[in-house]
Structure formats: C-alpha cells, structure tokens
Structure 1
C-alpha cells in the first residue's frame, strides 16, 4: 500500500547552518541518486525541487547503474549523500558499489542511504552491520517528509564528519607547514610560505601581506614597518614601507595588531600577530566574512607555531647579517669583502676594477687619548662619508681602523679617496682631521678573492713603510719579496729555536785616554754558507713575527753571561750595552725581568747600559717613561740610539732619565761634509746641555776620529778600532791591547 505523500516544512530553521569556508559561494549540497528506474529519478527530482537542507539548496546528480555512479563519483569530489538502489543490474550491485566507494575510492565522508523496492531482500541488520551505510529504507516508506528527514540527518552527519576531517587536516597541515617554515632561513622566504600555508589552511585565495619590523635585517634602531612578503594584488609592495600601500584600512589594521600584540578577526580581514624574542610581525589576509570559530581556532594554533618559526628566522637572519656585516658601521665585514672580491675576480668586468685597502693613521692614539666612544664615532663617520662618496662601490670594514673598497679604477683614484677624507670628521664633540694610507690592487679576471686581498695588503704595507708616500699600487715584484720575507721569518724562527743565532761584541773606546770602557752586544744570524744576514734585514722580521721579545731576552742573557765571563777572567771594568726593542719595553715587568737576569749572572746594574731608539721614545711615551724611571732608579744606564734621525722634542728629552746620546753612523760618515758635521756638533751640544755623555758609532777613519775629538765626543766605536766579533775574539782583542789602553 502506497503511503500518501506528506507536505514538508523546510527543516533548515531547526538546524544550525554548517560551517562554510570564506571565499566559497553559497554552496549547495550535492546529492547522487542511483537507480535503474527512471520514475524514481523523476519522483525524487519532483520531491526535492526548491528544497533547502541546513540552509543550502540542493544539486542533484543521477546515475542509472553502479558503473555510472562510480564514474560520476570519480568526477565529483563533494557529493554529500548518495540515494542508492540495492538491486539494479544484479541483486547485489548496490552493495558492491558501497564497498567500492568505501574501500577502493576511499570516500569515507559521503553518506549513503540504501533504498530497495524489494523489502526483506537484503536483511536490514546484516546490511547495516557489514556495510558502511547510514540508513536503509524501502522505497515505499520514503514519503516526502521521511525523505527530507533522512536527507537532513545525512547532510548534517556529512557536514560534521567533514568538519572533523577538515580540522584534522588543518592540524596536520599546521604541523607540516611549521616544519617546512622552520627550514626557511630568510625572512622573505618565510613570509611567502606563511601566505601559502594559511591560504591552503582556510581555502582562501592568496591575497595578503606580511609586515615585519625591521630596518636593515632585524635592526632594532629602525621601527618602520616594511612589507617583506606579499601575494595577490599586493605583491608589488614587497620591500616597501607599509605606508606606501596606499590602503589606510590595511595600514591601520596591521598597526593596531602590532600595538595590541594580538590577533584581529574582522568581517573583511584576518590579521595574525607574530613575535620573536625581540621582533614582531603581522600577517594580513583579506576575507569576505568573519571566520568561523573552528577556523579561528585553527589559525590561532597556526600563529603560535608561526611565532616560533618567526623567532628562528629572525635569529638566523641576525646571525647571517652579523656574519657578513660590521656591527658598528653596518658596512660589510672582511668576509663579505672577500666574497665581493671573489665575485669581481670571477667576472668579466674584473679588468676595469680595483680593490683598495684604506688604513687610518694614528687611530690607536685617538682611542687612547679621546676614548673608544670617540673612536667608534669616527669610524661611523668615515664609513658614512666613503659610502656617500662612492655609492656604486662595495664598502667594508676589514680591520679595526681599515676599510676596503671595490670599484672602477677611474673612480677609486688616490686623489679622490684622499680628497674624501680631507675635511675634518665630527666625532662626538670633537672635530678630527684624519690622514690615511692606501693600497690598491688591479682586479684581474680569474684571480681569487684571497689573492686579491693579499695583493692589496702588500700594497698597503708598502704605503705604511714609506716615509714620503701615502699610497701604493700593487706590483708583481711585491709577491716575490713577500714570499722571500716569509721564508726568512720561517728560517729565523727555526734557527733561533735551534740556538744558531749568535751575539757578537764591538768595543767602545773613550776619546780621552783611548781606554776601553765598554762593549756593545750585537745580534748576528749566520747561515750555512758563512753569509751573515744584515741586522737591518732580520731585526724588522723578528719584530713583525713576534720573535723579537724572546730574542731580546736571549740577547740580554747572553750579554750578561759574557760580561760575567770577562769579569771572572780578570778583564777590565766594562759596561755592556744591549739594544732593547719596543715590544720588550711594552712589558709591564720589563724592569723586573732585567733585574732577574742581572742577579742570575752576578752583574751590577751600573755595568749594564740599555740602548733604545729615538722612535721608541716618541711611540708610547707613557709606557717608556715609567719603565725608564724604574730602570734608572735601579742603577741601569740608559742610552738613546740613532739620536738625530727622529723627531723627539728637546723638552721631552729633558724629562727622560737618560745617560747617553748616541750619534748615528749616518752623521759620522758625513762628518767631513758641512751637513754631517753640523748634526754631530749639535748632538754633542745638546748632550752637554742635558748633562749626559755621547757615543759616536761607525767611526772608520782617523779624520772622523779627529773631528769627533774636536767636537768633544766622549766615546766612539767602529771599524777603526774593531769590527763586531765573537766573545772568544773579543777576549783575544782585549788581551792584545796595551795595558794603558784598557781601563781597570
């Protein structure tokens, strides 16, 4: 008996509307009717015409057999409910289709309502138990009302299952996206990834921007918000300040999010607040409706993960920035300069470029006299002026007081570089005039960055050593000289450790009485072929290599041991003169070290004379004066070597506790000329005014000796009397002197 159709009231008002993703149209529920009876299709269309379920209209699909249904499902991914006839081309075709849908097609969300025109053909309990279906009805009992009720329950179940699946998918996406984003090492890559992942999470078109608080990468000093990633119509604004968007609404929403430090959900937008340990960002997304509670919860969880990723990206960018930039000036550092040099050397434009190294003069004095804050401000000012003067050139701070430049040779000329530094620099309250030395190297294609840097340093070293030039261009011969110099340093170190260095001695004779009054200890470096390296060659090598302190201590010990040997042999009362280097004088305990050596050999302090050069006196007067006073108070004599070759102040000399001025050999050689004689006479006069003695070195002729005696010089040494000699030869020389020529 047919059951009379009943009118149906739309049940949508009694059912809360399902969640709908923003950006989707007013979606329809898709229903698939599978039956081999055309009348069933027509009746279903008639009953469901203009019906809405849970707030949405219906979209009906039809299939006349299981094969058509399977093909339709393959094309339609969003079928919500299937009304399926159990018996069609075969008695179990409907049930086989159910198994195909669930097992083969893996469509677990779609709801299936079985309909049969043969009651009892398939036992209801068994079908419900063995097949994943939602309901089992006979066609006779599916009246208008019951059909709508059944479909409403099925649609509701489908929506709930889909929501659960979407949430699960969203959480899985969050975990996966967070892992992917954590691997990003650049802020722009991270920003692009955020937009992509959120758009996928919410099924939104990618129409948003990411704004981060930064100047140079993550620089706290610049609070301007910049767009670091964008999609959709806002993509052209990447790397621009936020204000340039020209959209006051977006700007206001993002600034409000940053100010409130919380997410913002509006009817036309979503803004997520991200923060690291010291930095903040905002993710703006355009929407067309307020996000549902479930979606808000998802993006909130996602934002928490993004904040962790954001902190990681900021840290990586900060580390990357510090790896290639000088933290004080913001210019590149040595690493970035070497990278730029390598790129320039590898490019075809290399032949037109030069690498420059610029070293500020007396920067250490500025730090010492005015403080490191002033020194830092000076470096900032120099870097800023160089960047302004040479905007197209690579600029880096490569040393504490040195900068590097890479650019066209026609632009980076010495004249232009020095002209840039000519005006004084403002450093705090100071106006500082700066001079510098410049080394340049032509960039040849195919040359490595390290090689180019080394060549520029060679040129800079030559410029530093030159007394009358401030700049130097690299020449190939410099590399050979440098290689030879390094070889000499290596051999010097080896021979010193192997105890192959020697101390020779040159007698010092008083002009009054012609008596032997002292000897000077002179370091010698003999080689296998009996060649002796000149001291003016290897002493600078020892200073540059750091060996000079150890060698100086050894020479002092050897000299005192020799003096003790001479005294024990009943020799004359001599004073031993030993040269001292600046690195030795810098040692705080140098006077104490001298006292220990004297005590170890039983030598009175008055029997030792330490010679320091005039340049040492002027280089670090504070350190020098303290040590000189301590040594002089202990009884050690002090002699100023090479006097007249430097620029010491007579006023400063009056303050120094010295005993002797040594007239340099260069003046003695020219004593027969007017100039040499004038300097020698002047030095003797200064010594008399200061109340100290004089020693002339390099005396080789009787005429020189005669003139020095006329000038009133006290002591002389030179080839005229004796060449430097080993201790055994010195003992023989002393023994061969007439007794009245040896002072006891």
Structure 2
C-alpha cells in the first residue's frame, strides 16, 4: 500500500507498513461480513480508515463499513443494525463528552454488550479519566496519531476476534457475566500493581481455581537482552514478587512464559496455563497459572476473551498513566506544570496547618534571544539547570513548578520565598556544556494570606504582578496589590463594554471641519470616533482607544471608521464640494497589521471614494519606527492615491533626513504649540519652525486646536494656510456637517 500521511493531530496517520490481506476485496451478495461502524465528525477520518482496511479479510470474512458523522446519526444506525462487531468512535464530536455519552447509550440503553468499542482521539487533553474508562465498557483506547495502518489492522482484528468469541460463548452467560464484572472491577483499580494482582485473582475466580499464579513483565536490559520480572504473585508464588523469573527453582515456568511471549499466544498444558498479553513497543506481559488439570473448551474460550480484555486494560492503564503525567507534569523538567500547581495552591489554601505562604512567578529575562542564539537544545539544558538550582537552593519544603516556556513558579513559606532569595539564584552564571551563561530574572509575588479565592486567581494575580514588574524594570520584583487587580478588572470591563457598544451601534463618527484660514472656506474634515453610553454620557477617546488597541478591537473599529469616512466623502462631494478632503486617524496597531493595505484598497473600492481626497493621519512616533518597512508601506499607500499626514508634529524627535525619505504630504502642528503662540514667554518659535520646515520640504501645513482669532492671525502671518479648531467649528454629525457646509458655500 502507498503512504497516507496527514499533518493534523486530529487525523489518522498511516505509514508504509504491510498488512496481509486475502480475497479480491469484492463483497458479493452474501451478508457474511464483519460490520465495522465508524463514528466521527471528520469525513477524512472515515475515508482514511476505510482506505487503510480496504481488501482486508479477518477469519475469512470481509469487512463492511457503516458511517455515522454525528451522535444522532449513530443512534439511528445502531437501532437498525443489530450485528455490528466493532465501533471506532471519536471521543470528542459535537461536545467534549459526546463520545462517552454514546458509549453509555450503547451499553446501558441498547444493552449491546457484545459489540467492541474502540475510542479514538486526536486531542489527548480530552482523554477520558480512569473513572470514565471504569464506568463505561471501553474495549480499547488510542490516540489517532499512534494508529499506524498495521496497528489499526491489529486493533480491529483483535476486536473482531473478541466479538466472535463473545458471540460464540453467549450460551455460557454466567461465564460472560463474570468476565464483564471482572473487567469492571479491574478497571476500577488505579495502579499497575493493583491491576496485575487483580488479574491473578479474577482468572482464578473465572476458572474456580486457587489463585496460584504469577504475572510477569518483559523488560529490556542494558545489554539489550530481554528478561522477565515478576510484578504480581499469589498462592504458592506470593514470595516471588519483584524477583526475576529466572531466579525461581522451576525453570520450566521461565521457559514456558518465554515461549508464550515469543509465539505471542496462550499455551495450555495438562496442569498449567501460560497466558500472553499484548503490550506495546517497549513492554510485553505474561502470566502463569497452576491448574492441576486440563481446561475444558468453554474455559479456554472464556480465557481467550478475558485475555483480550486484559490486554486492553493493560494498555489503558499505561495510557492513562502517561496522560496523567502529561496533564500534570512538565515533560522537560518533570516538575509540576501550571495545572498541577493550581491544585497544589488550592490544597494549600484550605489547609490550616501551613505557615504563611507566598507564590512567586519567576520569568527569565530575554530567554527567547538566548534560545534563538544558542539553539533550542541549549535552551532546554538551561531551563533544566534553572529548575535544579531553584529546587536545591531555595529550601526543602517548597514546590517548584514550570508554568510556562521560561516561567517558573515557586510556592513555599514567606521566609523561603522572598524576592532577595529568589533573585540571588541568578547572581552566579549557569554552566552548560562547559559554557557559562549569565541570566537575570523578574519576579511577581502574591501572599496567599492576603489572597481570597482559588489557585487559578492566585496564579492570575501573580502574573499581574510579574507583568507590572517587567513593565517597570526588568531584574526587579513586585508583590501583587489589590489596586493592581482593580485596574485590570476596570480595563477588562471597559474592553467588554467597548465591544458591546460597537456591536450595538453606540459608537459614531463625527467630523471636525478644516478651513482655509484666509478665506474661512471649508477644505476638508477630520473623522473622529465617539462613544456615547446608553445613559447619554460620553467616554473620551483617550480612555477607550488604548483599550481597543490592547484588545485588538482597533482593527475592526479602524476599518469601520475608514469606511464611514469614505461614504461621508462621497456624500459631501455630491453636495458640490468636489475638492473636499477627509482625514482619518490610523493607530499603530492598525498600521502594523499585515492586511492593512488590502483593507484600505477594499474600502476605497467598495465605497467608490476618490483616493486623492482621503488622507491618513499617522503620529510622529509611528513615522520614526522601522524606517525601511515604513518607507515601503507609505510608498504602497501613496500608489493608491491616498495622502499621508503626520499628526501631532513637533511632539516627537523626528530625524529630518528620515522625514525627507517618507512619502508624506502634510504636517499637522500640534495643538500644544498653537496654544503657545499667544504665550509671551515662549511665543511662536516651534510653530514657526514647523511651518518653515514644511515649506522647505514642500509639504502642506495645517494647525489644529485653533480656538481664538489671535491664534489664527499669528498662524496666517507665519504662513500656515489651513486650520482646524473650535474657532471654526466643533466636531459634528454627518447631517450637521451638511448643514454647516451649506452655510459656507462659495457664492
């Protein structure tokens, strides 16, 4: 077969492995087939599975596939088809627990105990817990990524054999009931040791024999040889637990179990039984029982079925153990992860015996640069060194966890976990592969005695303190205070309120006219965003624009404002103001967005606004950042016909040589310098300098914040041709703008 590979974790992956098939793959009129039902909401999984199992015959019978893409569709098929042998079921479909609910329906509502159910998932984080595997009769559980074609064939083959055997021995319902009860009891056991001991007890009960048996695991030694070790034992063998099988006196037991593992089958003698349990690539299992008599046919069949279930149980125990470790412990450092640390904090919060406790989050400064420079393998060794030092040097009774890429959490009493002690761990360099690396760290702390809430809130508060500490000064620390939480909550509330206001159309665009100061006739207008709450109060842009930028909502808001301005320009020009210009402010977040240019082009195209009458205003600080990238972007914007103005000019520290290279059309004198024009102590020096600079660079000049005639006179005398401010007009709605323009038409 060819290779079928998917790059998604949710898909099956089939590698080049050979599966032996028989027959020509064609299904005739005979209904003598194994029905395999695939339940998954991903059509690719259906096609990949049928492709992998095409032309396969098991026990000289071909496979027939039934397909369900939802739980509801699966229930309809199950009601009509009573002879389904195997169900391949996705754990997560419409809802996270949909798979387990369907298992419940099959087992407890339809009472279909014979069908074999194999759970599959592409999302190990949604794997069922031990109690879920215990509650439902799940026959196998695999992550989709581990189901290579040969493994899928092996799993389905084992399931069909198990199904056939169950059907064959239905006449012996008592034996079958015993197997089911035994499987349920075994699934309730939490550890590998409990499970293997339970296997011996249950097999003895199934065969009505004394529990004289042992359970072995095959391990690979350092010399690459395989050896059997006894992990569970009962009866006459109970003293052999944790011994190598080769150490027992009866060498025939070692020989028989080795043969069962080598031949991958059960071996039945006149006075003993050797059982083989399918393991994984690293481990295989075997058990030996002293029967003192040959087993009859029904006992042999019961044992075959039971062994099939036990193999699944062993795999499940191993899988759940791995998933548990993955869910609660960091794979690199083996430290508790964020999830486990939250649990530990919760346990600490409800304990009355602990001393006053502090949680510290430690972030390694500039670790990303170190990682990129020296390589990820070196970075991993560095993280391991940090973890080791924190564990060994801060104290014995504290908890060290890794809560993020380069962020560690430390939980302990106030004396051990203090900023000085934590930061002291980074004073000496870390030696990695003979190379000394000096690191620094920033720390955010929260005292649990001052904290009200659960572990998740404590971690969140520590993160707030850490972020504040990094913002203020790296290589420092901050304790969380209540005011920090209030600030964050207010910002979050503002963010949600702003999004709701946008969706409910409580935001609006107003327009402040711009005039020729000599004639006082309109030449354009600046589009300004306003937020009016339901009670009629206004929230100033200085409060909500930073929130919009922080949350990313500014991207949607900015596009909406631009489109509103373009539509208004079209309306104004229809009134006869053909040279009217509309200016739109662009935030730094918008300007850096990769799709800004295409958004601008689409807005111009959709509204039919003439590009040469649209002006984008950027701040002086934006104009000075990333010169090469900015020059390219401004050239692309200019190519659309749109003009560029630098807003608040004079408040920054522009490089004149850089300014000359930019495709800029106009400078706006900041209102602060307009106000100073009439101040005798400072006068008009800065405004005059900006106007002269604009002339030298052949740029248009406009002053904003013009509020009285004296300011207008001075600006005009200095050579500033255009102005904007309350002297001429306040910001106004679209309808008010039209009326204002009607009163300012040239006769």
TM-score, normalised on structure 2?
0.55
Matched residues in 2 for 1:347 and 1:590: separation?
A: 54
| 1:551 corresponds to | 557
For the pair 1:336 / 2:337, whether they are aligned, the reply is no
Deviates more, 1:404-413 or 1:641-650: 641-650
- For the 8 Å contact 1:257–1:272, the answer to whether it is kept is no
| 1:440 corresponds to | 445
TM-score, normalised on structure 1?
0.56
Residue 629 of structure 1 deviates from its aligned partner by 3.8
Pick from 621, 637, 642 the counterpart of residue 631 of structure 1.
Answer: 637
Matched residues in 2 for 1:190 and 1:676: separation?
A: 89
Pick from 711, 717, 733 the counterpart of residue 726 of structure 1.
Answer: 733
CA deviation vs aligned residue, 1:490-540 (integer Å, no higher than 9, x gap)? 332333223221222334567899886543222111235543212121112
- For the 8 Å contact 2:355–2:413, the answer to whether it is kept is no
Residue 280 of structure 1 deviates from its aligned partner by 0.9
Structure-2 change in CA distance of 1:597 and 1:306 (3 Å): closer
Structure-2 change in CA distance of 1:277 and 1:471 (3 Å): same
3-state DSSP class of the match of 1:551?
Answer: helix
Pick from 193, 196, 214 the counterpart of residue 198 of structure 2.
Answer: 193
| 1:348 corresponds to | 352
Matched residues in 2 for 1:227 and 1:401: separation?
A: 41
Structure-2 change in CA distance of 1:521 and 1:390 (3 Å): farther
| 2:572 corresponds to | 566
Structure-2 change in CA distance of 1:170 and 1:576 (3 Å): closer
Q: CA RMSD of the aligned region, Å?
A: 6.3
Residue 547 of structure 1 deviates from its aligned partner by 3.0
Residue 725 of structure 1 deviates from its aligned partner by 3.7
Higher Cα Rg, which structure: 1
Structure-2 change in CA distance of 1:170 and 1:597 (3 Å): closer
Residue 271 of structure 1 deviates from its aligned partner by 9.8
Structure-2 change in CA distance of 1:402 and 1:208 (3 Å): same
| 2:386 corresponds to | 385
Structure-2 change in CA distance of 1:419 and 1:646 (3 Å): farther
Matched residues in 1 for 2:469 and 2:337: separation?
A: 22
Matched residues in 1 for 2:526 and 2:400: separation?
A: 50
Residue 181 of structure 1 deviates from its aligned partner by 2.7
3-state DSSP class of the match of 1:348?
Answer: coil
CA deviation vs aligned residue, 1:541-574 (integer Å, no higher than 9, x gap)? 3234443222212211222223233333334734
Matched residues in 2 for 1:648 and 1:206: separation?
A: 86
| 2:617 corresponds to | 611
Matched residues in 1 for 2:433 and 2:701: separation?
A: 47
| 1:575 corresponds to | 581
Matched residues in 1 for 2:304 and 2:368: separation?
A: 55
- For the 8 Å contact 1:191–1:210, the answer to whether it is kept is no
Superposition pairs of residues 400-549 of structure 1, within 5 angstroms: 403-415=408-420, 417=422, 438-444=443-449, 447-460=453-466, 462-463=468-469, 466=472, 471-508=477-514, 517-549=523-555
Matched residues in 1 for 2:367 and 2:621: separation?
A: 18
For the pair 1:317 / 2:283, whether they are aligned, the reply is no
3-state DSSP class of the match of 2:576?
Answer: coil
| Alignment: residue pair count | 555
Matched residues in 2 for 1:197 and 1:661: separation?
A: 87
Matched residues in 2 for 1:476 and 1:262: separation?
A: 65
Matched residues in 2 for 1:617 and 1:257: separation?
A: 78
Unaligned runs of 5+ in 1: 1-167, 215-222
Matched residues in 2 for 1:429 and 1:649: separation?
A: 46
Structure-2 change in CA distance of 1:446 and 1:723 (3 Å): closer
Matched residues in 1 for 2:228 and 2:348: separation?
A: 31
CA deviation vs aligned residue, 1:258-316 (integer Å, no higher than 9, x gap)? 99697999xxx99987553444155698x9x9999879999999766543321121222
CA deviation vs aligned residue, 1:442-463 (integer Å, no higher than 9, x gap)? 2237632233234334434544
Matched residues in 2 for 1:472 and 1:578: separation?
A: 40
Structure-2 change in CA distance of 1:365 and 1:674 (3 Å): farther
Residue 343 of structure 1 deviates from its aligned partner by 1.8
3-state DSSP class of the match of 2:506?
Answer: coil
Matched residues in 1 for 2:683 and 2:196: separation?
A: 77
Matched residues in 1 for 2:412 and 2:230: separation?
A: 30
Structure-2 change in CA distance of 1:578 and 1:380 (3 Å): farther
Residue 606 of structure 1 deviates from its aligned partner by 2.1
| 1:9 corresponds to | none
Structure-2 change in CA distance of 1:229 and 1:531 (3 Å): farther
Matched residues in 2 for 1:625 and 1:426: separation?
A: 44
Matched residues in 1 for 2:482 and 2:318: separation?
A: 45
Matched residues in 2 for 1:669 and 1:258: separation?
A: 95
3-state DSSP class of the match of 1:406?
Answer: strand
- For the 8 Å contact 1:460–1:471, the answer to whether it is kept is yes
- For the 8 Å contact 2:228–2:245, the answer to whether it is kept is no
Pick from 570, 574, 593 the counterpart of residue 599 of structure 2.
Answer: 593
3-state DSSP class of the match of 2:609?
Answer: coil
Unaligned runs of 5+ in 2: 1-172
Structure-2 change in CA distance of 1:496 and 1:338 (3 Å): same
Structure-2 change in CA distance of 1:301 and 1:519 (3 Å): closer
Matched residues in 2 for 1:248 and 1:689: separation?
A: 96
